[in-house]
Amino acid sequence: LISLLAVPLAVASQWKWPDTYKDHMRCLNFCHLNGSPRCNANCTCIPRPDFNNGIYGVCFDTTIPLPGHYLNLSCSHGYATQLKYPDKVPV
């Protein structure tokens, strides 16, 4: 059982974020909007635009613009317009 839990943790720790996310490194982490894991203090879990269920997200610092790469993961699902902070969307 312990080895089954260690595999996802090892994969998550090896994730390389694109360079366009560098301003958000203080917050970057995968999150779950309805539970654990949650974001660090002063970070917000933003739903992933490429998942239909809207409960999985990534933690961001919402005082700076969100990476355009993240918002464009899948525009066909329409989540980019449902973000909590539409004023932070890059032009």
Task: Give mean pLDDT, residues 41-63.
Answer: 85
pTM for the full predicted model: 0.61
Closest CA to 66 of 51, 45, 50, 52: 45
Domain boundaries, the chain: 16-88
Pairing mode, strands 56-60 and 44-47: antiparallel
Residues 7-20 have pLDDT tens digits of 444 444 456 788 88
